[in-house]
Amino acid sequence: MKIVYFYQYFTTPNGAWSTRVYEFTRNWVAQGHEVTVVTSVYSKSDIKAKRFLEDQVIDGIKLKVINIEINNKQPIYKRVFTFLAYSFMSSWYALTLPADVVIASSGPISVGIPGLIAKYLRRRKMVFEVRDIWPDAAIELGVVTNKWVKKFAYWFEKVCYDAADLIVALSPGMKENIERRFGITKVISITNSANLSLFGNRIENANVPEYFFTKKVAIYTGNIGSTNNSELLLETAKILKSKGCDQIKILLVGDGKQKEYLEKRAADEAVDNFEIMGLMPKKELVALIQRSFVSIIPMANVPMLATSSPNKLYESLAAGVPVVQTTQGWIKEFLAEHKCGYTTQADSQELAVVLEALSLKDRELKESGQRATEIAKEYFDKDYLADKMLKGISSVVPSQKRKVEMIY
């Protein structure tokens, strides 16, 4: 089967971003499928290009790299331009690359454009992958405010869903949302994955900061900005310091619009139990997560983010580290059911109380961590999920559907 995957953020474990598409497509290539990923140059990725259009091959995965830089720190108008530029250039590949099926991975929802071109002009099967519910999340966060832009975005969202032969939602919450709002049944849920071979193997004698041996470190990894409620972590650190909870240090690893702002505030206000480290490859991040007593996942307090599927959740579970998170949707229910994490409100006072209590419960945390690893193996193993998605894709390609039916 020939698969073309339109995804702007392709990254390997040498980068500092989600490796879902890399892990899945590498699996499919190993099974004998031909996969081409049309991507761009993301600031947190290890994929770079010297020419405007460049061909690369990584582990058998063919890459079409469009040298358009995408960076979360860019002003909104610049980001919109880069999204549209990527969609315009990738439309050429939608018209020319051999494919049995194309996958358009959103957000941004503009990536639906090359998917629709392949669907209607070349009559290829189209899989629409939903990594976040767009435009609702952008509207709730105040990113999209113009009423005409909202109307157009909602219209285009429906166009993409209606056109898709299959919709892949990255969380059960997203799946439920799409089915409820649009009455669509062609939706499957395949979350981000856990790279157990990377995060599940203990790294001994790792080079980590000295405070990992003297403090209880609560780690946050990923984008540092308002969507991820990063300022909440600074406020929590201030409360812990005021209470004399010297055993806890809050560490952020990543980059984003609020990084410099939070660093300056922490320095000006002498919050020495709060620290930010810059971007680092996944391979280097593993040891820091493994040595933290909890992994924090704060999100902005907007309803749509309750459907989110943050990659840090699966990495933390794979590393055997309990999660403390603030969303009130499917993740809350999942952690409670499997007893591998904790949920608080998006409130610094409450988060500080929970962190202080957990820092004194070594046995409970150890048991939660052990369950986390078991849960990661059962539900989120990268190869298991790659096979599940491939089966879904194959079900909409007539020649592949017959093969799947023969196997199963």
For 55-103, the pLDDT digits (tens) are 999 999 999 999 999 887 778 778 888 999 999 999 999 999 999 999 9
- 26 and 120 together in one domain: yes
Phi, psi of 374 (to 5 degrees): -65, -40
State the pLDDT confidence band at 116, using cuts at 50, 70 and 90.
Answer: very high
Q: Is the dihedral of CA 233, 234, 237, 243 positive or negative?
A: negative
CATH code where residue 314 lies: 3.40.50.2000
Report the DSSP pairing between strands 34-42 and 53-58. unpaired
**134 in helix, strand or coil?**
coil
Report the DSSP pairing between strands 61-70 and 53-58. antiparallel
Tell me the sheet residues that pair with 130.
Answer: 106, 169
Give the H or E element holding residue 222.
strand 216-223
- What's the average model confidence in pLDDT over 117-122? 96
Q: Say if residues 237 and 274 touch (Cβ distance below 8 Å).
A: yes
What is the number of other CB atoms lying within 10 angstroms of the CB of residue 199? 24
- 187 and 207 together in one domain: no
State the pLDDT confidence band at 401, using cuts at 50, 70 and 90.
Answer: low
Per residue in 323-360, pLDDT tens?
999 999 999 999 999 999 999 999 999 999 999 999 99
The pairs formed by 200-206 with CB atoms below 8 angstroms and a separation of 24 or more are: 200/318, 200/319, 200/320, 200/373, 200/376, 200/377, 202/290, 203/286, 203/287, 203/290, 206/287, 206/290, 206/291
With b meaning 16 or more CB within 10 Å and e meaning fewer, what string describes 258-272? Answer: bbeebbebbeeeebe
Per residue in 192-226, pLDDT tens?
998 898 898 888 888 899 999 999 999 999 999 99
Cα–Cα distance for residue pair 303/292, rounded to 1 Å = 29
Q: Which two tokens stand for residue 325?
A: 């998170």
Report the DSSP pairing between strands 61-70 and 101-106. unpaired
Number of domains in the chain: 2
- 91 and 240 together in one domain: no
Per residue in 5-56, pLDDT tens?
999 999 998 988 889 999 999 999 999 999 999 999 988 899 999 999 999 9
Query: DSSP labels for 194-209?
Result: B-HHHHSS--TT----
- 200 and 107 together in one domain: no
- 181 and 283 together in one domain: no
State the pLDDT confidence band at 403, using cuts at 50, 70 and 90.
Answer: low
Rounded-to-10 torsion of CA 266, 270, 274, 279: 50
- The one-letter amino acid code at 296 reads I
What is the number of other CB atoms lying within 10 angstroms of the CB of residue 162? 10
- 223 and 323 together in one domain: yes
Tell me, what's the pLDDT at 137? Answer: 78
Cα–Cα distance for residue pair 40/245, rounded to 1 Å = 44
What contacts 252, CB < 8 A, 6 or more positions away? 219, 220, 221, 224, 230, 233, 262, 274, 275, 276, 277
Query: What are the Cα distances from residue 408, in Å, to 28, 100, 318, 404, 405?
Result: 18, 21, 29, 6, 5
- 372 and 388 together in one domain: no
Q: Say if residues 294 and 218 touch (Cβ distance below 8 Å).
A: yes
- What's the average model confidence in pLDDT over 180-191? 94
Cα–Cα distance for residue pair 218/280, rounded to 1 Å = 17
- 366 and 387 together in one domain: no
- 237 and 361 together in one domain: yes
- Largest Cα–Cα distance of the chain, in whole Å? 66
Q: Tell me how long the chain is.
A: 408
- 17 and 155 together in one domain: yes
- 273 and 242 together in one domain: yes
Residue 280 belongs to domain spanning:
196-379
DSSP code of residue 381: B
Strand arrangement, sheet containing 216-223 = 274-277, 248-255, 216-223, 294-297, 323-325, 341-343
Report the DSSP pairing between strands 101-106 and 53-58. unpaired
- The one-letter amino acid code at 160 reads C
Q: What is the mean pLDDT of the chain?
A: 92
- 213 and 127 together in one domain: no
DSSP code of residue 143: S
Q: Which residue is it, tokens 């996969």?
A: 35
Tell me, what's the pLDDT at 407? Answer: 44
Q: Is the pLDDT of residue 408 over 50?
A: no
